[in-house]
Structure 1
Amino acid sequence: MSKFLVRLAAAAATLALAVSTVQAQGLPDLAGREIVAVTENAYVPLNFADPKTGEGIGFEYDLFNEIAKRLNAKVKWELSSWDVMIQSVRDGQFEVGMDGITINDERKSQVDFSDSYLTSQQFMLVRADETRFTDAASFGANAEFLVGAQAGTTNFYVAVYDVLDGDEANPRIKLFDTFGASVQALLGGDIDTVLMDQTSADGYIGANPGAFKVVGTPLGTEDFGFILTPGSDLTAPINAALAAIKADGTLDTIKKKWFYDYNAAQ
């Protein structure tokens, strides 16, 4: 048999396996459809560039790739900054977006959401040797302490209303273009805390042993979802695959990989 026929047979076998897997799970079959998905690569451990290869990796990559696999679909990954991501998905430039995006009514008026794939709480990430404050109240009481955030994010609004005085123009909030940049500023001593969900805090702590810790009690609870173009025909299939991934324990396995086992230094 020629090499071409061998490859053709292998490809056919792979396709047949994918189709049979989809059928066995009772999930919609997208027949090899390409899904254009976008993320930022700046939110450890949800989505970020592998420090060794530059390849996009993380919890959301693994989860959405698994969703696509179960739907017999392929993913074309694209990158976008956070500040234009929701608009780009709303306008149809991308079909699906993800960046630790909190499900809320304001965003629901602009895009469709999948079911929640992660529930998390906001914590204060600080340097490991921080002793000057121990919670939001003691942080807020000292006008010299600075918090880093991205404009328009949940972390920004929690900083404004749950840590500081409700003034969105408060100069104690230092804005950064990316989430990763704010964490680097924290590590360098330019700011004193960054607010993030527990899972991401665990990711940064695990990836940087001895560099960070969290202080205080949870400042709020949020659910993350994939965003989709309004009226998207992908919402129902994605929700079906997500439910199957939750039910069979795959979601827990992916969480363990990125929130507890991953260490960039290894």
Structure 2
Amino acid sequence: MKLLKHLLAVALCSFVYTANAAGDTIIVGTEPTFAPFGFIDSKTNEIVGFDIDLINAIGKEANLNIKIEPMQFDGLIPSLMSSSIDAVISGLTITDERKKQVLFSDGYYTAAQDLMIRKEDLGKYKAMNDLKGKAVCVQIGSAGADIAAGIPDAKVVTFNTMVEAFMELKRNGCDASITGTPVNQYYLTSTGEKDLAHVPESAVNAKQLGIAVNQKNTALVEKINDGLKKLRANGVYDELYKKWFNQ
């Protein structure tokens, strides 16, 4: 619990910036409890992860000074729409519904959604439909929450972070949780958790993750896309992928 409180405290200690106040400086919102995409390093108290390395590398290629703004996940898109921040990178799935609100970059990672369950329930929940009428823990506003909402008679229990969702699952507060495949994998590997189990065969809804900007800021999304293309061409993207996903 001490670790969770620490993560939440740091995540909520955000500063108020003026968008593009320093020329080519852009404020990038992220939810920093979503390892391996973005999370707080317990040794340095800095936000690290694949998303963070990627946006900083894009910034170098596009001549943009990146400032990371930690926020709760459900506040990211509203903050972007109100121009409180300039961009969002936070394991954000590109969906038609979100496209009505923000402008997305080219996709930078393909992620499916799958289940985490208690190890004692291995074999009991193999697919999303096995959770009919069951309690499902998810992060509010996430792709996992959308999937859970479509499971017949499921009781959807929402949390600000997946760390909280995993803890509730472990406490028997729900029967399963739904989030991105790499998030489930990284959580088990990094924490050494013995009571929970990942169910990769349950994976559904594989979609691209994207970097979001305000719909009016086409110039910024063009710079981001150009930087991303250069990183794919020069091998930096592959290096970051291997670093964070060990592949």
TM-score normalised per structure 1 = 0.76
Structure 1 residues 129 and 256: alpha-carbon distance in aligned structure 2, compared to 1, 3 A threshold: farther
Match of residue 62, structure 1, among 32, 48, 53: 53
Distance 1:43 1:52 in 2: 17
Q: Quick one: percent identity of the two aligned structures? A: 29
CA distance in 1, matches of 2:89, 2:43: 23
1: CA distance between counterparts of 2:175 and 2:117? 6
CA contact (8 A) 1:202 1:260 kept: no
Partner in structure 2 of residue 257 of structure 1: 243
Task: Return the letter of the residue paired with 2:224.
Answer: I
Distance 2:39 2:118 in 1: 21
Q: Which residue type is aligned with residue 156 of structure 1?
A: A
Unaligned runs of 5+ in 1: 1-30, 262-266
How much does 1:153 deviate?
Answer: 1.8
Q: How does 1:81-100 map to 2 (within 5 A)?
A: 81-100=72-91
- Is 1:146 aligned to residue 132 of structure 2? no
Match of 1:239 among 225, 232, 237: 225
Gaps of 5+ in 2: 1-21
Is the Cα–Cα contact under 8 Å of residues 128 and 210 in structure 1 kept in the other structure? no
Partner SS state of residue 204, structure 2: coil
Q: Which moved more, 1:236-245 or 1:203-212?
A: 203-212
Higher-Rg structure is 1
Contact 2:115-2:198 within 8 A present in 1 as well: yes
For 1:87 and 1:137, the matched residues in 2 are separated by 29
Write the deviation string for residues 27-65 of structure 1: whole angstroms up to 9, x where unpaired. Answer: xxxx98211111111211111111223211111001001
Distance between the aligned counterparts of 2:147 and 2:72, measured in 1?
A: 21
Q: What TM-score, normalized to structure 2?
A: 0.82
Counterparts of 2:28 and 2:84, CA distance in 1: 10
**More strand as a share of residues:** 2
| Residue 173 of structure 1, CA deviation | 1.6
Residues 222 and 249 (structure 1), Cα distance of their counterparts in 2 relative to 1, 3 Å cut: same
Question: What secondary structure, in the 3-state scheme, does the structure 2 residue paired with 1:219 have?
Answer: strand
